[in-house]
């Protein structure tokens, strides 16, 4: 795997025009994202896309994945959404990761450990789909109610999103995932698991995927959570397990 390069969009001069291809992509994704808690996201995607590089539509792959987090103070969980775009690098200098942190359209600043989690996600996803990623330019925008987002718990969902974008599979609208991805595809534990599960349940997700073994730490509360919110809580160990449950994959 080649070294992952990083670039950050931090000013409005990176905006481009001519977004008809993006509009078509978003329209196609709409069919699988119909629940009310996605309305605010879809209304802003066109604004987000203005801040992304302009490439040939046929070489572009896009996915949107939900991610679970915790607000400052650690007592309230939140659901945010990560927009991923993969373009081809004709110079084969990748994988390159570009973080679009412009506030236009609800963008969020992300911490260094969040970015490190993304790099792990890129490595794991590339291995999972059987490519080296040298022709990948990945642009990521974190769509959040918060001005900044920290931690690595979104990295497993981001890895799923990269795979889905590349393969052309849809991300299911009723499944959420939390977990720290390792470069080898293993999914490791995260903090504040109960708070994150409850946040997903409030947002109408019916299935919540968590790292293997993590429910043992809250064994007495799992049944109560599942019954109270009418949800399924499923443990996953690897990226491939999570992918099969979180997407329309037929691989």
Model confidence, pTM: 0.79
**Where is 84: in which H helix or E strand?**
strand 77-88
Residues linked to residue 136 through DSSP beta bridges, in sequence order: 88
Q: For 161-213, give the DSSP string.
A: HHHHHHHTPPBPTTEEE--EEPTTSBEE--S-HHHHHHHHHHTT-SEEEEETT
Cα-Cα end-to-end distance for the chain: 23
Q: CATH fold of 5-246, please?
A: Ribosomal Protein S5; domain 2 (3.30.230)
pLDDT tens for the 251 residues of the chain, in order:
667 766 544 432 233 333 344 444 444 444 444 444 554 455 444 444 444 444 455 678 999 999 999 987 788 999 999 999 999 999 999 999 999 987 666 678 899 999 999 999 999 999 999 999 999 999 999 988 777 899 999 999 999 999 999 999 999 999 999 999 999 999 999 999 999 999 999 999 999 999 999 988 776 788 899 999 999 999 999 999 999 999 998 65
Domain boundaries, the chain: 5-246
What pLDDT, on a 0 to 100 scale, did the predictor assign at position 117? 98
Residue 177 gets the label, from left (phi > 0), alpha (psi -120 to 50) or beta, of beta
């Amino acid at each position: 795997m080649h070294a992952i390069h990083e670039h950050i969009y931090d000013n409005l001069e990176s905006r481009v025009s001519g977004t008809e291809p993006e509009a078509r992509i978003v329209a196609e994704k709409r069919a699988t994202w119909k629940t009310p808690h996605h309305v605010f996201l879809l209304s802003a995607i066109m604004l987000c896309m203005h801040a992304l590089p302009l490439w040939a539509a046929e070489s572009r792959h896009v996915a949107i994945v939900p991610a679970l987090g915790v607000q400052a103070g650690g007592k309230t969980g939140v659901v945010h959404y990560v927009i991923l775009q993969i373009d081809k690098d004709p110079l084969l200098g990748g994988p390159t990761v570009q973080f679009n942190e412009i506030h236009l359209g609800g963008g969020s600043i992300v911490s260094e450990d969040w970015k490190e989690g993304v790099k792990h996600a890129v490595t794991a996803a590339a291995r999972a789909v059987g490519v080296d990623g040298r022709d990948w330019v990945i642009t990521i925008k974190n769509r959040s109610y918060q001005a900044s987002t920290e931690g690595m718990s979104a990295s497993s969902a981001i890895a799923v999103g990269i795979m889905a974008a590349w393969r052309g599979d849809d991300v299911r609208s009723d499944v959420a995932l939390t977990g720290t991805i390792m470069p080898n595809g293993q999914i490791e534990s995260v903090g504040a698991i109960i708070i994150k599960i409850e946040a997903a349940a409030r947002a109408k997700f019916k299935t919540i995927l968590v790292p293997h073994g993590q429910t043992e730490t809250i064994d007495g509360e799992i049944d109560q959570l599942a019954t109270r919110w009418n949800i399924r809580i499923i443990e996953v160990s690897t990226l491939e397990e999570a992918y099969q449950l979180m997407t329309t994959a037929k691989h």
